[in-house]
Structure 1
Amino acid sequence: MDDGTWQGTNKKRKYHMVKWEALARPKEWGGLGFLEVKTMNTCLLAKWLERLEVEEGSLCVEHWFQRGRTVKIRSGAQTSFWHDTWLGNCPLRLEFDQLYKFCRDPHASVEQVMGSGHIQVEFRRSLNQQESREWKCLVELLTSVSLGEGRDIMCWALEKSGKYSTRSLYKALTFGGVENKFLMGIWKTRIPLKIQIFLWMVYHDRIQAVVQLKKRNWDGAVECKLCGEIETSDRILFQCPVALFLWVFLKQTFGWAAYPSSFGALMENLLLNNKGKVRHLYLFLCAGALWTLWKTRNDLVFNAKIVPAPVVVIHKTIALLTQWKILLKKKDRAKTELMIGEMSVSVLSI
């Protein structure tokens, strides 16, 4: 699968710019959303465990199924006191780990511990001062618990409905992190998929600039063919004279406080500081500029096509945005036409 992503059906070896684990993360957590088959198989197997769990007499639940499993206590007979999530947001063995290490019966059920009306937990030795404080906290926590009758009910914490879903467990297993709002902005911007993936690669600094190729044992020259400096992603897209000319033009046309000197600066100064609906229009504009610069660099490297004048890059960007605007919603299309109009007027003065 990894070879297919980077090489397609071409037998010629190509460089793998991003590791498979990053590609397989969900888009909202910084990946490309490729399906990780092994993890999905685990989630499908967990569906069978969920079915077994609700049947009488079955406690067959693996550790990865525990990621989202919580229990509503009734009699407490089917619930592990230490291992299940039934009180609070995590198992008691994690919240009171020192007590768990020295308890005599780590597999006791809630009913066995609390069914008599008293807390029955035995330890293999006397508790020290810190452990005694933990024990006091645990006892206070358990005072709010009262057991009833009937079978305990399994719930799924990763879904609002409380019911198990393969999708929710797959997301938790692939990457349980924080949503990347900037990358989600890329996926929501109405530009061609190819350009979205390109921006994702730029974000991760994985486009095939010389510095990245050198890490993969490429033996070519390290200098940018246009300016002679070491070729990095930021050099190609922001710092090379042609790129600098384009960004200064955009700064002056739209009244930006500064022009970006790197992709990080672009995110911070132009995108993250613009709110809501304005942000995705700026991202649309910047996507056109970045793709134009990348294509211009590739034409020079692979086809020996030299830009006759820097102003050509501006015209190419305008043409690209005009081509893409059909992808936008009607109200955004009108705003984009105004932006393109401003660029077309400004370029006449150069």
Structure 2
Amino acid sequence: MTVTIGNGKTASFWHSSWLGVVPLKFCFPTLFKHSRRKCRTMAQAITGDRWISDLAHGNTSKLGSEVLNLHRLIQQQQLTLQEEDRDQIRWKSGQYNSHSAYTLQFLGATTGMFHDLIWGTWAPAKLKLFAWLLHQNRLWCNDRLQRRGWTNDYFYQLCLRNLECSAHLF
């Protein structure tokens, strides 16, 4: 994806690839980690070099060289924000749209054998959802309640020996 800066009100300073092929959060990970405002738009970050003042937390003494490198890169781009032009986001293979972005999120995702077993069979929706939550270990048993610090009985009530979890319950 490539981002062409217009007015800078849409593109994200850290998350968009406006300076090159890769977003700045990957090129300068320590600066990104120290930034207090990770969701600033280009217009907000570039105006008055606010992205530098956002780095004012933690031990920033070792960041000087990276700040200087990034500042030089930005100066080399000679960005001038055009108030009448909008930022443009384009895929390298074609025009950007929400369908292509949604499809890209699931590129390379695999589905297990339980996916078809649970969602492909006929059953009421509430049973399918329950089976899916059981498979993902997301049922609200005492083990999940305990991890969140909520009050619980800890033991499974039928055997009183083991922690109640979805695997032991079923």
- Per the normalisation by structure 1, the TM-score is 0.26
Deviation at residue 125 of structure 1 after TM alignment: 3.2
Instruction: Name the CA distance, whole Å, in 1 between partners of 2:27 and 2:37.
Output: 17
How many angstroms does 1:163 deviate by? Answer: 1.4
Q: Within 1, Cα distance between the matches of 2:24 and 2:7?
A: 18
Higher relative contact order (CA 8 A, sep 6+): 2
**Identity, % of aligned pairs?**
30
In structure 2, what is the equivalent of residue 79 of structure 1? 11
SS at match of 1:119: helix
RMSD value, Cα: 2.3
Is structure 2 residue 73 aligned with structure 1 residue 141? Answer: yes
Aligned partners of 1:108, 1:126: CA distance in 2, in Å?
22
* Matched residue type, 1:147: L
Cα shift at 1:126 = 4.6
1:117-164 deviation line (CA, Å, top 9, x unaligned): x311222135233x211111100011122221221111112x1xx314
1:128 to 54, 61, 78: 61
CA distance in 1 between partners of 2:73 and 2:11 (Å): 17
Q: How is 1:1-350 mapped onto 2 (pairs within 5 angstroms)?
A: 69-114=1-46, 116=47, 118-121=48-51, 122-123=54-55, 124-129=57-62, 131-143=63-75, 144=77, 145-149=79-83, 150-157=85-92, 159=93, 162-164=94-96, 166=100, 173-174=107-108
Contact 2:89 2:96 in 1 (8 A): no
Runs of 5+ in structure 1 lacking a partner? 1-68, 176-350
C-alpha displacement of 1:91: 0.8
Query: Which has the larger Rg?
Result: 1
Distance between the aligned counterparts of 1:74 and 1:154, measured in 2? 11
Rounded to whole Å, the distance in 2 between the matches of 1:174 and 1:101 is: 28
State the distance in 1 between where 2:80 and 2:69 align: 17
Residue 173 of structure 1 aligns to a residue whose secondary structure is coil
Please give the alpha-carbon distance, in whole angstroms, between the structure 1 residues aligned to 2:8 and 2:96: 21
